[in-house]
Each structure stands twice: as C-alpha cells, then as structure tokens.
Structure 1
Amino acid sequence: MRFSVLASGSTGNAVYVENDEHAFLVDAGLTGKKMEQLFAKIDRDMKKLSGILVTHEHSDHIKGLGVVARKYNVPIYANEKTWQAMEGHIGNIPLEQKFVFNMETVQSFGSLNIESFAVSHDAVDPMFYVFHENGRKLVLITDTGYVSDRMKGIIRGADSFVFESNHDIGMLQMGRYPWSVKRRILSDVGHVSNEDAAVAMSEVVFEKPTQIYLSHLSKDNNMKDLARMSVTQTLQSCGIIAGEYVNIHDTDAEEPTLLVTV
C-alpha cells in the first residue's frame, strides 16, 4: 500500500492511495487541471483510478470532483447525506458512477479494505477513512473539531497518519478573521489545533515505526515550522520523542508528498 498527500490545506485537499490492484483518490478539492498536474508529479495516471472517496461536501474537498469523475469515468463513493449535499455543486454524475459508502462500514477491494468513520465537523455527515492491507494501516483524519474516544479506538495503532494540525490558537485568536469564524474553527465542529492534534496523536500511536503527516494547515493561522514544533513539543511532554519511532512530515497546499509505502 502506497500513498501521497497530493495537496492539503485551506485551499484544497486530495490524497492518493494505491496498492498493486487498485488506486483511490480521497477528495478532489482542487480544479481538474490542478489535479492532473499533481498526478503527473507523482507519475500516476488518473485513468487508472478505481474510485474517488468523498469525506464531505465542503468546496475544498469537492471542487474538482465532478470534472475529474466525468473526464476519467471514475466511480464516486460517498454516504447518502453527502450525496444529497453535493447536488448542484458537482454537476451531473451518471448513475453508473454513483456509489453509496455508508458511515461506519468497511468496503473491500481485493486485498484492500477501506473503513469509514464519523468525525465532528460542520458538514452534513462528514466521515474519513482507514485503509487496511496485510496488517498495515493508513489513517486519514482531518476536518474535525475534536478527536473522540470512538475515533481514537478506530485509528489507534496505524503505521501512517494523515492527521489534521489546522491552526495555532494564538495566531487564530490574534488574526484577522471575524469572531464568528474564529468561534466556528475553535468549536467542536471546527478544526483541531496543533496542540490538541498532538495530544490525540499521543493516545493513538503505538511504540513502532510510525509516520505522521501534519495536514490541513490553515494558510492564515498556522505555519509548517510552527505546527511541527508545537506537535513535537506536545508529543515530548506526553513521553513520545519525535525521531525515535515517530517521524513528523509536512504536507503542502501546492506540492504532493513523495509516494511512500505504508
């Protein structure tokens, strides 16, 4: 199982996951042209996609969804409420390309098992995914206001995490956003901060080689160096030393991460 975080941030999100038999895109939150450029950078062909998995209907996750699905005849998987919420935003999708992926279920594609789980975000029915293959586990979890005990139970012990580290609380509080937006981000249906993300990570990481990709960083209220430093320091305060068995990686809003094996 291999993956690349194609783009991650306030302006658009997409993650590519493949094994030897199947290839999936999780969200398509950038234009179709930009998605094609990102695929070219990791030397992959969009024509070979087995499906696109949708997490929720916000535009930074579905901006290019309709264009990509129609152009490359790719099946789309989303839960029923998300399908309803996307109507009118992604254009007409042929019925044969529309599939329902229910919340808290597992769908199998050969040796690749994909598990969906609920998160806490201000979308109609947001969910993220865990990829399982041959005892290896990849977790994608962003766009959540907090990480519940139930979420922790589902994601615990992964070999690789794409984990939200959205904002620095001080930057957000002192920033230019109106108070209503700040309140939404800080709420239980908003986004997790660097420190809160790290505390959650400390409770789900096993003592084995683990890769953590800090994702969905706010363009206005965070910085890569700050996120990495905050997460590293908070993990250390919880008894986990970054660089021993846990490695922290950046993601970018414009450039994909290297395609790596889980």
Structure 2
Amino acid sequence: MTMRFSVLASGSTGNAFYVETDRQRLLVDAGLSGKQLEALFAQIGRHPSELHALLVTHEHSDHIKGLGVLARKYRLPIFANEKTWRAMEAAVGEIPSEQKFVFPLGAVKTFGDLDVESFGVSHDAAEPMFYVFHCGGKKLALLTDTGYVSERMKKTVENADVFVFESNHDIGMLRMGRYPWNVKRRILSDVGHISNEEAGLALADVIGDRTKRIYLAHLSQDNNMKELARMTVAQTLEQKGLAVGGRFHLYDTDPHQATALACV
C-alpha cells in the first residue's frame, strides 16, 4: 500500500492539499477558484473528477473558496464537522444533502485503505481541525492555521514520516510591515498563526526516527520569505540537536505551484 501526496497550493491566498493511495484520492480544502484548482491538479497529472471526497479544515475563504464549485461540478462528497458546516454554508452555496457528511473533531474515518484522524487546532474559526493520514504503516501529518502547538497536537502528529507544517511569518517582518495593528495582533495571538521560530521549536518536539520530509506551509506573502522560513526553522532545529539534511529534509510550498507528487 502506497500513500502519495502533493501540496497543491499553500499560503494566505489559497490552500489545497492532495493525498492518494492505491484506492483513494482525497482533497483537503479548496481555497482557490475551480479553474485554478484544475490547473494545479494538471501540474501533478491528476484531475478533480478522479477525487473520492473533499475534506475541510475550517471555513476561512483561503480554504473553501472553490469548494462549492468543485463539489457541484464533480458531484463530490464533502466532509466537515458540524460547526464548520454551519459557518461555511452561505459561502459554499447550495450543496445537495447526499453530498454533505459530518466528520467530527477527534474522530477517525476510513476511506478505503486510508485512515484519516481529525484533531483540533487553535485558530479563530468555528471549530478548526486538521488531519493525520495513516496507510500501510506510514503517517502523514497536516498542521497549519494554529496560533500555537499544544501538547495534545504534538502527541497526535509526533513521529510522522512527513509533516506539512505551518511556518507563517517572520515576527520582525510582521511587526515592521504594512498590516494594521489589529491584524498583526490577531496573527500573533493564540488563535492566529505560528511564526518560523515557533514552527522550528514545535517541530523539534515532534520529529521522530521515521521523519523524512518537512514541508513548510502557509507562508505569508507579506511577512515571510521561503529562504527566511527555511533558514530560521533549520537554525532552530539545529540548536535542538536536529540537523537538517541528514535524516530529514526541509521543502518549500507555494501559493501557485504544486509540489511534486511524492510517496510518503
């Protein structure tokens, strides 16, 4: 059994994550237009019509912008928790009842040969949650959009083979940047986003013997840079005795370019 994945898009302008096994093809979030999503799928040689289900993390527009369009066009089932369903109903438009499914927070659902575990995060949404994917003894953890990484979150994602992990901003860039203070305060809060340094510290606690790849995700276009995120996370990990480039490697994600389809 093989699990493959691609970060189709990641950043403040739109997010979408694809995971497949020999029997299942799932999309987590659809935060871009239907046209953009189809183009991103084409980059990895896939098409939205091949999907078996759409999973939702939370109702913010950079995660659900194309959700309704995609679901209606390809008649795809959508899975979200009840609070997220209520919060996003107006934004996604009319979805036939036979395509609406509840995926509770803190539950495990099986999609063919893929077990998907949901867990809560700390973000200013109705009931935000992310996912850990298990298949054939492999573990892939997806964690962005959180103001801090709790011990409970760490326990859920620890020792994954692959992490897709938030590294949203550089604190200095954010403080000096053009955002109004109320937006800066929200990003820096416990229900905002974690910084590059915070990402490095949290990763130091969850990287395990099986960890091979870490994808730095949800980078702010205004308050971060790929090189800076990678350097800060690498330095923070090295201070904790974890050298990048040995047992594990760091990878970039992009708002407009899908990462290559890779095996977990």
TM range (shorter): over 0.9
Residue correspondences, number: 262
**TM-score (normalised: structure 2):** 0.98
Give the drift of 1:65. 0.2
Match of 1:63 among 65, 73, 77: 65
Letter in 1 for 2:230: R
- Matching of residues 158-197 of structure 1 within 5 Å: 158-197=160-199
Structure 1: 5+ residue stretches without partners:
none
Aligned-partner Cα distance in 2 for 1:221–1:140: 22
- Matching of residues 50-89 of structure 1 within 5 Å: 50-89=52-91
User: Tell me, what secondary structure is at the counterpart of 2:13?
Assistant: coil
Aligned-partner Cα distance in 2 for 1:209–1:126: 25
Give the drift of 1:34. 0.2
Q: Deviations over 1:122-154 (max 9, x none)?
A: 001000000001110000000000000000000
Name the structure 1 match of 2:141: 139
Name the structure 2 match of 1:105: 107
Aligned-partner Cα distance in 1 for 2:8–2:136: 24
1:86/1:209 CA distance change after superposition, 3 Å: closer
Q: Percent identity?
A: 65
Give the drift of 1:210. 1.6
- Matching of residues 1-262 of structure 1 within 5 Å: 1-262=3-264
Letter in 2 for 1:79: N
Aligned-partner Cα distance in 1 for 2:211–2:24: 25
Aligned-partner Cα distance in 1 for 2:137–2:37: 30
Give the drift of 1:110. 2.1
Letter in 1 for 2:19: V
Aligned-partner Cα distance in 2 for 1:96–1:110: 19
Aligned-partner Cα distance in 2 for 1:81–1:209: 33
Q: Deviations over 1:145-188 (max 9, x none)?
A: 00000000000010000000000000000001111000000000
Give the drift of 1:209. 4.4
Structure 2: 5+ residue stretches without partners:
none
Structure 1 stretches of 4+ moved >4 Å: none
Q: Deviations over 1:34-76 (max 9, x none)?
A: 0000011110121110100000000000000000000011100
Aligned-partner Cα distance in 1 for 2:177–2:232: 18
* Comparing 201-210 and 74-83, the one that deviates more: 201-210
**TM-score (normalised: structure 1):** 0.99
User: Tell me, what secondary structure is at the counterpart of 1:20?
Assistant: coil
Is residue 79–residue 102 contact of structure 2 (8 Å, CA) maintained in 1? Answer: yes
Aligned-partner Cα distance in 2 for 1:48–1:90: 21
